A and B are shown apart, each in its own frame.
Chain A
Amino acid sequence: MKRFTRLLIELVVLLAIYLFGCQLAMWLAWPIPGGVVGLGLLLMAFASGLVKPAALQLGAGVLMAEMLLFFIPALMSLLDYGGLLRNEGWRILLVIGLSTLAVMLVTAFTVELVCRWRLRHEA
């Protein structure tokens, strides 16, 4: 029960930071989503020592672990796009498949090469 109360408080705090981020973005007319402003604010709070990451770790962990639940509603837009998938589905899947392969190869080799280069030059 204690854990549950704690979780609830942490979630409310994260929600409050998000809403404050939205307000701030609106006041300053920044074209950045409120969540990202909130993320920046929270990082600054960690850096200044104002907030300890451990104080929000439970709530943040639960939100990230259950993230899928929050975008299931968007996935159900498939209900309206059935026709699109029947007509263009294989082309869309081909794009996703080839592009994912390209991204993984490029990312992994870039990071690997930079790491090896640094190892050789630092030694």
Chain B
Amino acid sequence: MKLELMPVFWLALTLGTYIFSRWIYRRTGRYLLSPLILVPVLLLAVAVPMNTAYAEYSADTHWLMLVLGPVTVAFAVPIWQQRRLLARYWSALLLGMVAGSVASIATSFGLAKALALDSSVTMSLVPRSITTPFAMPVSSDLGGVPELTAVFVMFTGVFGAMLGGVLLKWLPLRTPLARGALFGVGAHGAGVSRAHEVGGEEGSVAGLVMVLTGLLNLFAAPLLAALL
């Protein structure tokens, strides 16, 4: 294919579809058109017919992932800005994050074993509930495949943001803290944007809890690797 001779073809296409999909999502507000779903769908629609291998695609786009490092550093800003919220409710939030993480790890691992998924897929599923910059290093600590984890994290976000909206209608949750934590622990970034639509306080809680849960899991990863 002639197109593939262009060295930055995949990078240009990635940036192009990302910008396009962000624009169209802002105009329509349709969840199915959000970049989280539309960008991978569009890219796969081009790459699959061309028989592109992942190595070929990632050759010119790999460096984008290096930016996840500075993103992790940037997480210091929301933690600092929400420090009063954290100081006031640290016990409820910490218990929620620990209980949620244990539930996530135990059910992912247990269900994957019960359904006889192979070990690298199972270990890639374990950190699927936390945000990608943390989930990928946890996955490699556990012997999973970080890229596969990123895929599972995306599915979790897409499904979790929808499920969380339904659950809020049914569950008797009176505190914005519980509503925010549900999204932050259960559906990371996609959940945080959904939580902001529910309310400002829910959004702040979700954002804070998402980052702290990621950190918690990262620090627990060596222990987890020994246990699982």
Residues of chain A having any CB pair with chain B under 8 Å: 11, 14-15, 17-18, 21-22, 31-36, 38-40, 42-43, 46-47, 53, 56-57, 59-61, 63-64, 67-82, 84, 88, 91-112, 114-116, 118
Whole-angstrom distance between the alpha carbons of A48 and B170 in the complex? 44
Closest chain A residue to B97, Cβ basis: A107
B100 x A110 contact (CB < 8 A): yes
B18 to chain A, nearest CB (A): 5
Q: Does B107 contact A (CB under 8 A)?
A: yes
Complex A-B: 24 CB contacts under 8 Å: A17-B70, A31-B222, A38-B70, A38-B73, A39-B73, A43-B76, A63-B71, A67-B133, A71-B136, A72-B40, A72-B64, A74-B146, A77-B54, A78-B44, A79-B52, A91-B115, A91-B117, A92-B155, A94-B115, A99-B111, A100-B163, A107-B182, A107-B185, A112-B178
Min CB distance, B106 to chain A, in Å? 8
Mark out the residues of chain B between 56 and 113 whose CB falls within 8 Å of any chain A CB in the assembled complex: 57-58, 61-62, 64-65, 67-81, 89, 91-93, 95-97, 99-100, 102-104, 107-108, 111-112
**Known contacts A79-B57, A107-B103, A112-B174, then 11 further A-B pairs from the complex at CB < 8 Å, ordered by chain A residue:** A21-B69, A35-B72, A38-B69, A73-B14, A76-B43, A77-B150, A79-B52, A91-B116, A103-B186, A105-B103, A111-B178
Q: Which residues on A sit within 8 Å (CB–CB) of B171?
A: 105, 108-109
B168-184 contacts to A (CB < 8 Å):
171, 173-175, 177-179, 181-182
Knowing A72-B40, A74-B132, the reply to whether A81 touches B71 (Cβ < 8 A) is: no
Q: Is there contact, CB below 8 Å, between B70 and A95? A: no
Given the interface pairs A73-B61, A76-B47, the reply to whether A100 lies near B125 with Cβ below 8 Å is: no
Q: Return chain B residues, CB-CB under 8 Å to A92.
A: 117, 121, 125, 152, 155
A115 lies within 8 A of B54 (CB) = no
CB distance from A8 to the nearest CB of B (A): 13
Residue B215, interface by CB 8 Å: yes
**Which residue numbers of B lie inside 8 Å of A, CB to CB?**
14-15, 18, 35-36, 39-40, 43-44, 47-48, 52-54, 57-58, 61-62, 64-65, 67-81, 89, 91-93, 95-97, 99-100, 102-104, 107-108, 111-112, 115-117, 121, 125, 128-129, 131-133, 136-137, 145-148, 150-156, 159-160, 163-164, 167, 171, 173-175, 177-179, 181-182, 185-187, 189, 215, 218, 222
Give B187 Cβ to nearest chain A Cβ, in Å: 7
Chain A residue nearest to B211 in the complex (CB): A39
Question: Which residue of A35, A67, A84, A98 is within 8 Å of B107 (Cβ)?
Answer: A98
Q: Are A64 and B74 in contact (CB under 8 A)?
A: yes
> In the complex, what's the smallest C-beta–C-beta distance from A53 to chain B, in angstroms?
5
CA distance A81 to B181 in the complex (A): 32
* CB–CB A74/B128 < 8 A: no
User: Are the C-beta atoms of A36 and B111 separated by less than 8 Å?
Assistant: no
Chain A residues with CB under 8 A of B67: 63, 70
**Assembled-state Cα–Cα distance A64/B58 (Å):** 22
**CB-defined contacts of A88 to chain B, threshold 8 Å:** 117, 121
Given contacts A73-B65, A79-B48, A96-B159, contact A63 B70 (CB under 8 A): yes
A72-B61 contact given A111-B93, A115-B178, CB 8 Å threshold: yes
